[in-house]
Structure 1
Amino acid sequence: MNKERLSLRTILLLCTVCLLGFFLRTACYRNFIQPNGGFCFYSPDPYDHLRRIVLGVKSFPLVPSFDSYAAYPKGLGQIWSPLFDYLLSAFSLIFGGSDTVVEQIGFFANPVLSVATIAATFLIARKSFGNKNAAILAAFVVAASPGHISYTLAPKLDHHVLEPMVILILYSFTFLGTEGRLSVRESLAAISAFPLTILMWRGATLFWAYLFIYLLIRGALESARGNRRCLDDYTKVFLGAAAIIAVICVADPWRTSARFSFNIVSWFHVVALAFCALLLQFLGTSGSVKIFCRRFFFLLALLPTALLFPFVRSFGTEILSGISFIGGTHDSWLESIPEQQFFFVWGFWYGVIGTVTLLWFLIPPAVVLSFREWRQGGFRNGTLLAVAVWGAGMFPLVKLRYSGVMAIPVALASAWLFSWAWVRWHAVLPRIALASLAPILLIPGYKGYVSNVTFTNSPITRVGEYGRSGVFEWIRKNTPQTSYYLNPQREPEYGILAPWRFGAKLYYLAQRPSVTTAFGWEAHGLYEIGGFMATDKLEVAAQIASLNRVRYLLAVPDEFAPYYRLAADGVRKGVLPAETLGTVDGTGSMLQRLATHDGSSYPMGGGYVTASQRYRLVYETPNPADMGAENSFYKVFEVVPGAVIYGRCGAGNAVGLEMPLRTSSGRLLRYTDRAITNEQGEFLFRVPYATDVRQGDTLPLDSYSLSCSGGALRKVSVPEQAIASGLTITR
Structure 2
Amino acid sequence: MEKSEKIEKDKNAQSTFSKNIFVLGAILLASFIMRMLSYASLTADGGITFTGYDEFYHMRRILYTTFNFPHFLNFDTYINYPYGFEVGWPPFFDLLGALLALVLGGGQPDTHTVEFAGAILPVLLGILTIIPVYVIAASVFDRRTALVGAFAFAVLPAHVYVSRFGTVDHHVAEVFLSTVAYAFFILALKLAGESKLSLSSLKNVSSDKKLISPLVLSAVSGLFFSLLIFTWVGAPAFVSFIVLYALVQTTLDIKAGKESDYLFICSAATLFATLLFTIPLSAGAVRQGLEMSAMYLSWFQVVYVLIMLAGIFLLWGFSAFVSKKGMDWKYYPGVLIFISISGILFLRMFSAEYYAFIVEGLRFFSGKGEYISTIAEAVPLFLTGQGKLTFSAVLGSFGPSFLVALAGFFLLILESKSEKSKPECIFFLVWTLFYAYLALSQRRFTYLFAVNVSILTAYTLMILLDSLDFEKEVRKLVKPGKKTEKNSESIPQTGKKVSLKTRSKSKIRQGTESKGKTAEPDYFKLVSGVALIGFVFVSSIWIGVAFAKDATSIGPEWQDSLEWLEASTPETSYYLEPSETPEYGVLSWWDYGNWIVYVGKRPAVSNNFQTGVEDSANFFLTDSEEEAKTIIEKLNIKYIITDTLMAEGKFSAITEIAGKNISDYYEIGTVKENTGLRTVVTPKKAFLHTQIYKLHKLDGTSLGNFRLVHESAMNTTENESGKENTVKVFEYVKGATFSGTVNPNETVMATLELRSNTGRTFVYQKGDVADEKGLFEITVPYSTESTGNGVHATSDYSLTAGENSTLTEVQVTENDILNGSRIELNIPD
Question: Which bracket does the TM-score occupy, shorter chain normalised?
Answer: 0.7 to 0.9
Partner of 1:639: 732
In structure 2, the CA distance between the partners of 1:310 and 1:495, relative to structure 1 (3 Å rule), is farther
Q: Report the residue type matching 1:174 in the other structure.
A: I
The 5-angstrom pairing of residues 290-689 of structure 1 reads: 290-296=330-336, 298-299=338-339, 302-303=342-343, 306-311=346-351, 313-329=352-368, 331-332=370-371, 334-338=373-377, 340-345=379-384, 350-379=392-421, 381-396=422-437, 397-398=439-440, 399-417=442-460, 428-429=472-473, 437-444=532-539, 448-449=543-544, 451-457=546-552, 461-466=554-559, 470-520=560-610, 524-560=611-647, 562-563=650-651, 565-566=653-654, 569-570=657-658, 586-600=687-701, 611-624=702-715, 633-689=726-782
Secondary structure at the aligned position of 2:83 is classed as coil
- Of residues 56, 60, 67, the one that matches 1:51 is 60
Distance 1:668 1:322 in 2: 53
Q: Report the residue type matching 1:277 in the other structure.
A: L
Judge which range, 442-451 or 483-492, deviates more: 442-451
Partner of 2:35: 25
Q: Report the residue type matching 1:351 in the other structure.
A: A
Distance 1:419 1:486 in 2: 54
Q: 1:220 deviation in Å?
A: 5.9
Judge which range, 431-440 or 22-31, deviates more: 431-440
The 5-angstrom pairing of residues 163-312 of structure 1 reads: 163-172=174-183, 173-177=185-189, 178=192, 179=195, 180=197, 183=212, 184-218=215-249, 225-226=258-259, 228=261, 230-232=263-265, 234-235=267-268, 237-252=270-285, 258-261=291-294, 263-284=295-316, 285-286=318-319, 287=322, 288-296=328-336, 298-299=338-339, 302-303=342-343, 306-311=346-351
Secondary structure at the aligned position of 2:230 is classed as helix
Distance 1:18 1:195 in 2: 26
Distance 1:385 1:341 in 2: 26
In structure 2, the CA distance between the partners of 1:79 and 1:146, relative to structure 1 (3 Å rule), is same
Partner of 1:65: 74
Partner of 2:171: 160
- Of residues 4, 7, 15, the one that matches 2:25 is 15
Q: 1:672 deviation in Å?
A: 0.9
Distance 2:288 2:532 in 1: 50
Secondary structure at the aligned position of 1:354 is classed as helix
Partner of 1:91: 100
Q: Among the aligned pairs, what percent are the same residue?
A: 23
Secondary structure at the aligned position of 2:180 is classed as helix
Q: 1:589 deviation in Å?
A: 1.0
Distance 1:58 1:254 in 2: 23
Distance 2:797 2:725 in 1: 24
Distance 2:233 2:768 in 1: 55
In structure 2, the CA distance between the partners of 1:24 and 1:274, relative to structure 1 (3 Å rule), is same
Q: Report the residue type matching 1:186 in the other structure.
A: L
Partner of 2:505: none
Distance 1:361 1:29 in 2: 32
So what's the TM-score if we normalise by structure 1? 0.87
In structure 2, the CA distance between the partners of 1:55 and 1:403, relative to structure 1 (3 Å rule), is same
Q: Report the residue type matching 2:235 in the other structure.
A: A
Secondary structure at the aligned position of 1:691 is classed as coil
Q: 1:463 deviation in Å?
A: 2.8
Q: Report the residue type matching 1:27 in the other structure.
A: L
Judge which range, 708-717 or 96-105, deviates more: 708-717
The 5-angstrom pairing of residues 32-43 of structure 1 reads: 32-35=42-45, 37-43=46-52
Q: 1:128 deviation in Å?
A: 3.4
- Of residues 111, 121, 125, the one that matches 1:109 is 121
Residue-by-residue CA offset, 1:661-685 (whole Å, 9 max, x unaligned)? 2221122232111222222222211
Equivalent residues of 1:463, 1:624 under 8 A apart: no
- Of residues 76, 79, 91, the one that matches 2:85 is 76
1:724 aligns with 2:825: no
In structure 2, the CA distance between the partners of 1:395 and 1:433, relative to structure 1 (3 Å rule), is farther
Distance 2:549 2:165 in 1: 12
Computing the radius of gyration from Cα coordinates, the structure with the larger value is 2
Equivalent residues of 1:387, 1:412 under 8 A apart: no
In structure 2, the CA distance between the partners of 1:29 and 1:510, relative to structure 1 (3 Å rule), is same
In structure 2, the CA distance between the partners of 1:432 and 1:75, relative to structure 1 (3 Å rule), is farther
- Of residues 144, 153, 159, the one that matches 1:133 is 144
In structure 2, the CA distance between the partners of 1:426 and 1:457, relative to structure 1 (3 Å rule), is closer
Distance 1:347 1:40 in 2: 35
Distance 1:583 1:693 in 2: 38
Cα RMSD between the aligned structures? 3.3
In structure 2, the CA distance between the partners of 1:4 and 1:530, relative to structure 1 (3 Å rule), is farther
Equivalent residues of 2:161, 2:548 under 8 A apart: no
Q: Report the residue type matching 2:537 in the other structure.
A: L
Q: 1:33 deviation in Å?
A: 2.6
Residue-by-residue CA offset, 1:85-132 (whole Å, 9 max, x unaligned)? 111101101222211101222222222222111233223322332x32
In structure 2, the CA distance between the partners of 1:45 and 1:276, relative to structure 1 (3 Å rule), is same
Q: 1:166 deviation in Å?
A: 3.2
Q: Report the residue type matching 1:334 in the other structure.
A: S
Distance 2:293 2:716 in 1: 52
Residue-by-residue CA offset, 1:221-269 (whole Å, 9 max, x unaligned)? 66864554642552354345335434444433577984522x4333332
In structure 2, the CA distance between the partners of 1:699 and 1:598, relative to structure 1 (3 Å rule), is same
Distance 2:423 2:140 in 1: 9
In structure 2, the CA distance between the partners of 1:382 and 1:100, relative to structure 1 (3 Å rule), is same
Equivalent residues of 1:619, 1:698 under 8 A apart: yes
Q: Report the residue type matching 1:167 in the other structure.
A: S
Q: 1:167 deviation in Å?
A: 3.5
Distance 1:237 1:676 in 2: 76
Gaps of 5+ in 2: 1-9, 199-210, 323-327, 474-524, 661-682
Distance 1:281 1:431 in 2: 53
In structure 2, the CA distance between the partners of 1:565 and 1:631, relative to structure 1 (3 Å rule), is closer
Q: 1:318 deviation in Å?
A: 2.3
Distance 1:632 1:290 in 2: 61
1:149 aligns with 2:154: no
So what's the TM-score if we normalise by structure 2? 0.77
Residue-by-residue CA offset, 1:629-649 (whole Å, 9 max, x unaligned)? x99812111111112111222
Distance 1:53 1:678 in 2: 59
Distance 2:616 2:25 in 1: 48
Distance 1:187 1:61 in 2: 29
In structure 2, the CA distance between the partners of 1:437 and 1:567, relative to structure 1 (3 Å rule), is same
Partner of 1:690: 783
In structure 2, the CA distance between the partners of 1:148 and 1:236, relative to structure 1 (3 Å rule), is closer
- Of residues 807, 810, 814, the one that matches 1:714 is 807
Equivalent residues of 1:163, 1:200 under 8 A apart: yes
Secondary structure at the aligned position of 1:406 is classed as helix
Equivalent residues of 2:381, 2:394 under 8 A apart: no
In structure 2, the CA distance between the partners of 1:95 and 1:240, relative to structure 1 (3 Å rule), is closer
Residue-by-residue CA offset, 1:690-731 (whole Å, 9 max, x unaligned)? 223416222222322111116521133222222222222221
In structure 2, the CA distance between the partners of 1:77 and 1:256, relative to structure 1 (3 Å rule), is farther
Q: 1:568 deviation in Å?
A: 5.0
Distance 1:111 1:233 in 2: 32
Gaps of 5+ in 1: 573-581, 601-610
Q: 1:304 deviation in Å?
A: 7.4
Partner of 1:576: none
In structure 2, the CA distance between the partners of 1:249 and 1:292, relative to structure 1 (3 Å rule), is same
Q: Report the residue type matching 1:314 in the other structure.
A: E
